[in-house]
Structure 1
Amino acid sequence: MANADTREKESQIPTNLRLLLILEEVAKRGVAVKPSDLIESLGLAKPTVHRLLLTAEAEGFLQRDLDGRSYGPGPRLRQLSVNTVSSEHLRTARLAILRGVADEIGETCNLAIPDRESMIYLDRVETKWPLRIQLPIGTQVPFHCTASGKMYLSTLRQNTLDGFLSARKLNPSTKKTITDPDALRAEVMDIAKRGYSTDDEEFMHGMAAVAVPVIDKNNRLVATLSVHAPTQRHDLESLMRFVNLLEVGANKISGLLVS
């Protein structure tokens, strides 16, 4: 009876829509998804789901997680998401918000998104000061020693964070970089509680930064909004005065995602 119900549900879904629904479900969940989860949620038959997953994996839209059974977004699906949020009408409104925050603070503001192994700068508005730190759009920066990266780490599930901390050595970028996994875990837990992240010359000597999350309608981090400045103008304590301005800007950008 269950198989008959599944076949009936599947017959109601156009063939050319099934793979798109699988990609949508994987992206929506935000965690690695097992085939059984997709079978249950989409009402597709087991052979259909496995065939489509293999196709999506072969074409780079999905990739297997560490357990070898679950699937998460692959490089082509991640690039698709970047291209989508970079579309012209969205970017125009986003840059207007970013420029407003940067003008109020008087320093460079950045919008960054998480990739599989780093944060990527998606948008930025430069300070008008001649002394500035150049981190162009498209720059990839580490998770463990940047305000944006640590903000992202603070939103991970415990087992995912543990996997990140145990996967490789935390290389120092400066003498202030946190390279001890236990110390970074404690820092990330503090960030999760207070809702913003900091970089006290951990990524680059002479630069401080503060970041806040940009949240989607499912309450997941999709990007970070941050400000960075040379310590000659703003030390970390000085930059932390702008957390509320960043949060207002981040909420406005979040509004673009659900409008």
Structure 2
Amino acid sequence: MPEDQSSQGADQIPTNLRLLILLEETVRAGVPVSPRTLVEHLGLPKATIHRLLATAEAEGFLQRDVDGRSYGPGQRLRMLAANTLSSQRIRTDRLAIMKALADEIGETCNLATPGRYGMVYLDRVETHWPLRIQLPAGTQVPFHCTASGKMYLSSLRPDRLNRLLTSGPLQPQTSRTNTDPVSLAEELSLTRRRGYSTDTEEFMDDMVAIAVPIEDNLGRLLSTLSVHAPKQRQSLVQLERSLDRIRQAADNLASLVSPVTEDDDLRS
């Protein structure tokens, strides 16, 4: 949202833009927002805000948070974001970056974004080796036992993370899956400090993986870039040696969706 939009007042926001601006403000916040917060930021009447929220919720663009009062992105808004990221020009550039990384490391690269119940693979570039792990684009994998999922969990506020980890039993995928919320929270704290996550045969036997965040210009996680490999070919320690190169690729991917400034536009 333009920086001065919230100060324009209700009479300055065209009626046909109010729902779009409300959605924009909701996702810009990065956390579930209350109707009161939206009234304060947008300057629209309380009744108007509630009407817009009801419409957005009914159509699936927003959904209520667990407190029953705040709102966050719904399924249709998440799909809109994913489809935007998958536009042809961006996807062509994105795949070129991922292919260069996969060729250099010699392992499969994955781009994943958080869904409602797990991480969803948006894109992947396969290794040339015949021994590979088949997880095609569109696959949804758990949060708690995958490198991409743990990277996302580490970005959450403590209260939201605690709700997610304690809302139900964490299902084991292998004998190495960490299903203890306390020790998993400790691992996520380490992940947050070091800026990358790992999977040591927690999601799939004989598979190791490493993931880094792809962030927006405000430092918020948009998606994750991960590399996984059969442990017969690369150990986790070997994958960690490629961490600088993976981070560089993640920065390049982030630049594809960074806002274009006026100066950038003049230089293009």
TM range (shorter): over 0.9
Equivalent AA in structure 1 for residue 21 of structure 2? L
Instruction: Could you list the structure 1 runs, at least 4 aligned residues long, displaced by more than 2 angstroms after superposition.
Output: none
Give the equivalent residue in structure 2 for 1:225.
225
Aligned equivalents of 1:132 and 1:154: distance in 2?
Answer: 28
Aligned equivalents of 1:169 and 1:136: distance in 2?
Answer: 27
Give the equivalent residue in structure 2 for 1:30.
30
2:80 counterpart SS class: helix
Q: CA deviation at 1:12?
A: 1.7
Residues matched between the structures, number: 253
1:238 counterpart SS class: helix
Give the equivalent residue in structure 2 for 1:81.
81
1:253 counterpart SS class: helix
Aligned equivalents of 1:223 and 1:55: distance in 2?
Answer: 28
2:257 counterpart SS class: helix
Give the equivalent residue in structure 1 for 2:156.
156
Could you report, residue by residue, the CA deviation over 1:204-248 in whole angstroms, capped at 9, with x for unpaired residues? 001000000001011101011110011110111111111111100
Give the equivalent residue in structure 1 for 2:240.
240
Question: What does residue range 198-209 of structure 1 map to in structure 2 within 5 Å?
Answer: 198-209=198-209
Q: CA deviation at 1:197?
A: 0.4
Aligned equivalents of 1:28 and 1:251: distance in 2?
Answer: 20
Identity of aligned residues (%): 60
RMSD of aligned alpha carbons: 1.1
Q: Indicate whether 1:51 and 2:51 are aligned.
A: yes
Give the equivalent residue in structure 2 for 1:138.
138
Aligned equivalents of 1:66 and 1:225: distance in 2?
Answer: 29
Q: CA deviation at 1:113?
A: 0.5
Aligned equivalents of 1:248 and 1:12: distance in 2?
Answer: 42
Question: What does residue range 90-101 of structure 1 map to in structure 2 within 5 Å?
Answer: 90-101=90-101
Unpaired runs of 5+ in structure 2? 1-5, 261-268
Aligned equivalents of 1:222 and 1:12: distance in 2?
Answer: 31
Could you report, residue by residue, the CA deviation over 1:107-156 in whole angstroms, capped at 9, with x for unpaired residues? 10011001122000001100000110000000000000000000000000
1:228 counterpart SS class: strand
Give the equivalent residue in structure 2 for 1:12.
12
Aligned equivalents of 2:124 and 2:9: distance in 1?
Answer: 46
Could you report, residue by residue, the CA deviation over 1:59-97 in whole angstroms, capped at 9, with x for unpaired residues? 111111111110011111111111110111110111111
Query: What is the TM-score with the length of structure 2 in the denominator?
Result: 0.93
Aligned equivalents of 1:119 and 1:150: distance in 2?
Answer: 10
Query: What is the TM-score with the length of structure 1 in the denominator?
Result: 0.96
Q: CA deviation at 1:9?
A: 2.1
Equivalent AA in structure 2 for residue 95 of structure 1? L
Aligned equivalents of 2:211 and 2:9: distance in 1?
Answer: 45
Aligned equivalents of 2:187 and 2:130: distance in 1?
Answer: 33
Aligned equivalents of 2:149 and 2:206: distance in 1?
Answer: 18
Aligned equivalents of 2:204 and 2:242: distance in 1?
Answer: 20
